[in-house]
Amino acid sequence: MAVSQATIPARIADLRVAIAALEAEIAGKLSERDLGEANEDRRAEAEAEKAKLTETLAALEAMHATEKEMVERIVSFRKATADPGEAIDTDTLRSEMMAEMDRLAATHPDDRMVYAHVLEHSRAGPELQEDGHIDAAKLCRPVAEDHEYPEPDQGFGRLHRGNAIRDPNSEVAQHRAVRRHDHPGHCVAFLDMAAALVPGKTGKWTAKLGSAAITTSQSVAERAYGQGDAATIAQRSFDTAVGLVPTKTALPAYAVGKAQLGSGIVSLVRGSSETDSALRQREALKTSTDMMMDSAISMVELAKAGVQMPVLDKVGTGLSVVKAAASYGFNLRSAQDAYVKDADDLTMRSFDLESNYVCGLKTLGQQLTEALAMFKECEGLV
């Protein structure tokens, strides 16, 4: 949880990018004015847009700071209950922690930047060590002999951490029931809900986004179980993301850069299989997984920055779609950040190399597939 809160919320990051773009445009208009080719009307519009976005950004940053302070207090309570000391009443600590959680839940309930996964992680997440790292020994606890992971063809299921969950089916049902209770009347779990909300061409395009994100999560699950060639999985995830770049925006250049990156990653993965170098294998696996995550995050950014956004803004239910994109994007960024930190910590320990990364991928897959599994639960609730 502490790792996830270090991530800048997608809405704040988007506003900063938009403001920077307007500043560049304004500077360009000023240069044109010096050359006698100024478009003063457009410059005035850009100045007004920048002022409005700057005001919105300040409000969001203040809101995020407030929520983050609450989360940090919850983290401190969590650590204190794990090692309370002789003079501290653990019941009192837990009571104070739950009160802080309630205050967090009541903060901007319809416009949150720290979503319900904070509550889930603070209750059941791996405990942090004094240096802020997650204890890899607890994260990768031995799997019970009678524990069965869900097969990949069962809707991707949930990828569980060892024997932490005794009854996966009942646990999933309970988890989803809590989510439905937390968000009555609408669902903010996953982008694919937009297919049922937004009519016509935009709905089909957004449904395509949802399908692409599912493909990315499936790729992570396959890699975690050692199924399929890593290079093929990486290339498939990358191709899916690049195919979604809106042609009428300034993002095709971004797609070209991604293509070059994707090609290099595939070569790295395939090259690593031809050598016994453990380092090359580790770097190939980590880089390909990072690329899968980055592709999924890009899908969310493209959804918000694409030519479809003006259409979504005019639709009565468009706000729900935007909330879904922001929530899903935040969770993806949190998962990516946590994966990188956990993976670095795991490789420093005396576990088998491949087992370390399989464990890390399963942890990552759990966070992704939980978001994806929510889509079915959203049907009929919006």
Q: Please tell me whether residues 199 and 62 are part of one structural domain.
A: no
The pLDDT value given to residue 187: 29
Q: Please tell me whether residues 337 and 238 are part of one structural domain.
A: yes
Both tokens assigned to 333: 């960024």
Total of domains in the chain: 2
Q: Please tell me whether residues 251 and 104 are part of one structural domain.
A: no
The pLDDT value given to residue 134: 33
Q: Hey, CA dihedral for 32, 34, 36, 42, is it positive or negative? A: positive
Helices (H), 229-277: 230-242, 252-272
pLDDT of residue 176 exceeding 60: no
Q: Which of 360, 358, 366, 363 is nearest to 226 (CA)?
A: 358
Q: Please tell me whether residues 349 and 207 are part of one structural domain.
A: yes
pTM above 0.85, yes or no: no
Q: Which of 250, 328, 340, 334 is nearest to 287 (CA)?
A: 340
Q: Please tell me whether residues 118 and 202 are part of one structural domain.
A: no
pLDDT of residue 256 exceeding 50: no
Q: Please tell me whether residues 59 and 206 are part of one structural domain.
A: no
d(CA 19, CA 5): 23
140 in a structural domain? no
d(CA 206, CA 212): 10
147 in a structural domain? no
pLDDT tens-place string over residues 68-121: 777 777 777 766 766 656 566 666 777 777 777 667 666 665 555 554 333 333
Q: Please tell me whether residues 109 and 197 are part of one structural domain.
A: no
d(CA 242, CA 165): 37
Residue type at 75 in one-letter notation? V
Q: Please tell me whether residues 199 and 55 are part of one structural domain.
A: no
148 vs 83 pLDDT, higher one: 83
Q: Please tell me whether residues 310 and 232 are part of one structural domain.
A: yes
152 in a structural domain? no
Q: Please tell me whether residues 92 and 210 are part of one structural domain.
A: no
Burial class (CB in 10 A: 0-12, 13-18, 19+), 283: middle
Domain membership of residue 337 as a residue range: 191-378
pLDDT of residue 59 exceeding 80: yes
198 in a structural domain? yes
Q: Please tell me whether residues 116 and 195 are part of one structural domain.
A: no
Specify the residue for token string 């992704």.
368
Q: Which of 338, 249, 340, 234 is nearest to 295 (CA)?
A: 234
157 in a structural domain? no
Q: Hey, CA dihedral for 250, 251, 254, 255, is it positive or negative? A: negative
